[in-house]
Amino acid sequence: MAALLFITLALTVSFLVGELFHKLRYPRLIGQIITGIIFSFPFFSGIISFEAIETINFLSDLGLIFLLLLVGMKIHLHQLFKTRKDSFLISIGAVAFPFLLGVIFIRALNFDWVTALIVAASLSVTAEGTTLNILVENKLLNSKVGTILLGAGILDDIFEFLFLAIELFFINEAVNLIWIYPLELIAFVGVLVLTYKFLPMIMRAIHKEHSRISTFSVILIITLIIASFSSLLKIGPILGAFIAGVFFQLRETDKKEERQIISELEVMTFSLIIPFFFINIGLHFDIWSVFSNIWLVLMVLFIAMAGKIGGTMLMTPWTDLSIKQTFIIGWGMNSRGAIELVVAELAREAQLITTPIYTAIVTMAIITTLIFPIVLKWQIRRDKSVMY
């Protein structure tokens, strides 16, 4: 009962704070993280039971599976082949430059290579969804700058999951497992091939019932099966969930129903499950570490911003964009979000990074996400034509 009461309280507070940020045109996830931070204060330590924390951790892990399933179903794979040269160059600059700066900076502080790579990956990713929501609200999605941000963001998704896959190898030592247990790897690949081949047949059979509940259930069951297999291989369940999402997108026979399922899955995921992932991040966020390691937080923030904006602007001579346009795009690519926090949270759970490093990454994600809407609104008031 105590765990249920805390979960209800946490979900209620995260909803209220998330809606407040949404009204201010900021992502709800910031409010959800702040909710976790509030409950991490010493005052609540005697109220929150061990069972409640364990339940939050479970819901957080489940939320990751649902999030990666959704991303796999929604990622615009077909648009990657239509992306213009400018989007590709912008994406490369916005990923490579902050990654390089992150590795150099963390290694200069005498941290190990694993920590350096995790921090660098966290600095390199972009919250495409956050940026696109702001562009849509300001009716700038189809502008030249908006189009480039969309294309570069899609390409950035590929880099994000590459970083995530590499991190999972570090965490689970899957590189060694490939050589020690080749039969398990072959079995996992076999499951993927069979799933991909027979998925249309399964979905057609389910569609005959004309029941979205049945379709929804089958999608969840197949996702959990693939996620379980990838977990048994010690690659991690979230990679399996992402692969399942891509499979559903590529092999779904009824695209109209697929869109309805995605919409319903989004409602359930973002209203009930995903909030606990961000609450869990806040619960493990040490706000006192921000003040005791303020120089580290400020340096990570500076490198994150300089890397994204500088890396984007460095590509200007090879694109058809002006320096003002790449400057705005750089600010758009500077927003961080869910995947960056996934990278940090997984590293924290595996004890690959220290609390000060984790705190610096989460603080950087929140601040960079808050800044872009301010910069965009300022630019629109100053000269909206630069967007075109």
pLDDT for 302 = 93
> Which range has highest mean pLDDT (83-97, 108-122, 245-259)?
108-122
Determine the distance from the C-alpha atom of residue 63 to the mean position of all C-alpha atoms in its chain, rounded to a whole number. 12
pLDDT for 97 = 92
Report the pLDDT averaged over residues 210-218. 79
Residues 6+ apart with CB under 8 A from 165: 239
More confident of the two residues 341 and 11: 11
pLDDT for 299 = 92
Per-residue pLDDT band at 175 (split at 50, 70, 90)? very low
> Which range has highest mean pLDDT (145-154, 279-288, 336-345)?
279-288
Contact 362, 33 (CB under 8 A): yes
Contact 387, 328 (CB under 8 A): yes
Q: Does residue 116 have a pLDDT over 70?
A: yes
- Token match 């963390």: residue? 106
Domain ranges of the chain: 2-387
Contact 320, 86 (CB under 8 A): yes
Q: Does residue 178 have a pLDDT over 50?
A: no
pLDDT for 148 = 80
Report the pLDDT averaged over residues 354-364. 87
pLDDT for 310 = 92
Per-residue pLDDT band at 179 (split at 50, 70, 90)? very low
Lookup: tokens for 41? 């204060």
pLDDT for 177 = 45
What is the value of pTM for the model shown?
0.68
Mean pLDDT of the chain: 79
pLDDT for 180 = 44
More confident of the two residues 25 and 240: 240
Report the pLDDT averaged over residues 137-148. 72
- Type of residue at 76: H
Report the pLDDT averaged over residues 71-92. 70
Per-residue pLDDT band at 79 (split at 50, 70, 90)? low
Contact 357, 345 (CB under 8 A): no
By mean pLDDT, which of 7-21, 29-43, 105-119, 290-304 is the weakest? 29-43
pLDDT digits 0-9 by tens, 250-293: 766 666 777 777 888 888 888 888 888 888 878 877 788 888 88
Q: Does residue 104 have a pLDDT over 90?
A: yes
Per-residue pLDDT band at 123 (split at 50, 70, 90)? confident
* % the chain with pLDDT above 90: 9
Does domain 2-387 fall under CATH 3.40.50.300? My reply is no
Q: Does residue 333 have a pLDDT over 70?
A: yes
> Which range has highest mean pLDDT (201-215, 289-303, 363-377)?
289-303
Q: Does residue 181 have a pLDDT over 60?
A: no
pLDDT for 374 = 77
Contacts of 290-295 with C-beta under 8 Å, sequence gap 24+, read 290/359, 290/360, 290/363, 292/356, 293/356, 293/359, 293/360
Report the pLDDT averaged over residues 339-360. 83
